[in-house]
Structure 1
Amino acid sequence: MKHAFETKKSEFIYTYVRQVDEHDLCRLEMRAFFGFDRPANILKSTIDIDPSRSPFMKERLEILFSSTDWNDFLQEAERFVSHQTFKVTCMNSIALDKTEKIPHPERRVLERSIGELIQGEADLNNPAVDYGFVLHENRWYFGIVRESEPFWRYHLKKPHMYSTALSTRVARAVANIAVPHPAGVRAIDPCCGIGTVLVEARSMGIDMVGRDINPLVVLGSRKNLAHFGLEGEVDIGPIAEVEDTYDVAIIDMPYNLFTHITAEGQQDILTAARRITSKLVVVTIEPMDHMIKEAGFEIIDRCVAKKSNFKRQIVVCV
């Protein structure tokens, strides 16, 4: 029996824009956020994610009402009251799964049809609230729309960089895969290099600390954080010296010309990670499933992140 004080749980529609090489990484991020993925570029869930967190999300619609019939949809719009100035946008500006893109002139007509019915004051230039609607799987949805802001783009040019570092898009996705829901989660990047993942994590409010064995890159990581107005602890030293424990760790396995690491050294890093965390996300250019299992972890999910002919494995372990 339902009680009068119970309220319906909010539902959200997320739209995505990603390159072909990013599909697998995007779907791994979807699974981290929502517990499932879709091959399509649109997804519906009751889980509330800020679309600006993902480098792949385009928009999020918080659903207020819906209908399979356009005339019923218009009647719902006529009953809707906006207490703030508003504008209305049709989200079908791209093909969404099997729903074709609605041409620009037709979208404008539909937007005016909805906007003229809503009770309230429209403001196309500086609205207090943005409403949107979308046709998805033969059903019309209306709600509050929030566009993704590509904050990761602001981090493309860091004061300290090196060519083998993760791209900001991949780094942001990896941070989300490791910590999809940051509340109460403590994270560490114990081989943080110049802080590519650390910058993305801290910019999203993830409680992550950094560490690296190389004093020069630690200095670069600290300067990169400061450059973007971010705060975060970055210590010098190997992972073996970490005394605290964390909910999750991210290890972009050292491999480049500046870090001459042996297979034994890689195994030592993974074994030390088992001691300090219950969840691990490994980024590696070479297979190391046997090392991960030897360290005592179980692989629960994975994908390959591609960039042209260069591939990295993203491996999620517990």
Structure 2
Amino acid sequence: MSNQRNIKYNYIYTYVHHKDEYELCRMEMRAFFGFDTQLNYLFSDIDIDPSRSPFIRERLEVLYEGDSIFEIKNLVEEMNISAGTYKVVCLNNIDLGETMKIPHPERRAMEREIGISINGEPDLNNPEVVFGLIQIDDRWYFGKYTISESIWRKHVHKPNSYSTALNTRVARAVVNIAIPQPESIKAIDPCCGIGTILVEALSMGVDIEGRDINPLVCVGSRENIAYFGLEGVVTKGPISEVSKHYDVAIIDLPYNLATHISPEEQFDIIKHARHIANRVVFVTIETIDEMIEEAGFVIKDRCIARKHLFERQVILCE
């Protein structure tokens, strides 16, 4: 079927986020796709599971595109699209850039119009295949539909937590920024705390190890990982004792709120990070640019992650 398609891009992603998450969302976009956009959708040939992102709402794997819904209907009929059981979903239930939301009755009528052209049995509750239909800038697109599952929401309710820890949405985005393509990547969180980053990373199949200098925190991190049915290694000790080399390190530095870590201790962590990983994402409440550069890193990308008046810097270094 792929040789019969006349499409410009393989995928359409739609996005939703709080205004405080705008910069973080765009930084994650850049990590995944190599560019960002102010719009709440984007076109790409890169395949990303929408459930990986806390901001991607849904994905359409484009099969056909046309100037009208009738052209799409004809293409579906001509190509003899079939499925055992199926349903069709119109994605225009929100404004998409300049394309205004389509009212509910019209969306249902379009879904039925396309649906009758598909060989199979309609099933609105538990279909084998979900097809999607979307209009963007007077152009129509049809394909296989995947809705994002907010897995990170489940991780909010863990046995152990710290008030200063990253929230699960931010943690998930940080993992994606650090490791957009997890295949063959070995990662470490050498200051893992209660394991928020570890839980998000492991739930996405990232090969990551945790480490912390506090033995009680290590126990809590292991309990959190096990609570969600995940498996991961968490060792006790400072970053200075890490002897292995990793592709990526993720280092969250907000714990200085509780432990009053000195600038010298901060720089020691940054300096050792330079020796154990090729690529590092730092999360910090303080400006550490000079320390990063003195350690030999080059800052590749950055953003501010906000929560009301509280701000964290997310800094990608290589």
Q: Secondary structure at the match of 1:98?
A: coil
Which position in structure 2 is the counterpart of 1:259?
259
Please list the CA deviations of residues 194-241 of structure 1 after superposition, one character each: whole Å capped at 9, or x if unmatched.
000110000000011000111111111011001111110101000000
Query: How far did residue 10 of structure 1 move?
Result: 6.8
Which segment drifts farther, 79-88 or 23-32? 79-88
Q: Secondary structure at the match of 2:119?
A: coil
User: Which structure dedicates a bigger proportion of its chain to strand?
Assistant: 2
Which letter maps to 1:213? I
1:7-86 matches, cutoff 5 A: 11-79=10-78, 80-86=80-86
CA contact under 8 A between 2:189 and 2:210: conserved in structure 1? yes
Which position in structure 2 is the counterpart of 1:249?
249
Q: Partners in 2 of 1:137 and 1:243 — Cα distance?
A: 54
Q: TM-score w.r.t. structure 2 length? A: 0.95
Which letter maps to 2:13? Y
Q: Secondary structure at the match of 2:120?
A: coil
Q: Partners in 2 of 1:72 and 1:291 — Cα distance?
A: 58
Q: Partners in 2 of 1:156 and 1:83 — Cα distance?
A: 37
CA contact under 8 A between 1:186 and 1:247: conserved in structure 2? yes
Q: Partners in 2 of 1:83 and 1:236 — Cα distance?
A: 52
CA contact under 8 A between 1:300 and 1:316: conserved in structure 2? yes
CA contact under 8 A between 1:164 and 1:256: conserved in structure 2? no
Q: Structure 2: any 5+ residue segments left out of the alignment? A: none
Query: How far did residue 9 of structure 1 move?
Result: 9.4
Q: Partners in 1 of 2:212 and 2:254 — Cα distance?
A: 10
Which position in structure 2 is the counterpart of 1:194?
194
Which position in structure 1 is the counterpart of 2:226?
226
Which position in structure 2 is the counterpart of 1:316?
316
Q: Partners in 2 of 1:209 and 1:137 — Cα distance?
A: 45
Identical pairs, percent: 59
CA contact under 8 A between 1:91 and 1:134: conserved in structure 2? yes
Which letter maps to 1:19? H
Which segment drifts farther, 271-280 or 63-72? 63-72
Which position in structure 2 is the counterpart of 1:89?
89
Q: Structure 1: any 5+ residue segments left out of the alignment? A: none
CA contact under 8 A between 1:254 and 1:261: conserved in structure 2? no
| RMSD between aligned residues | 1.5
Which segment drifts farther, 150-159 or 111-120? 111-120
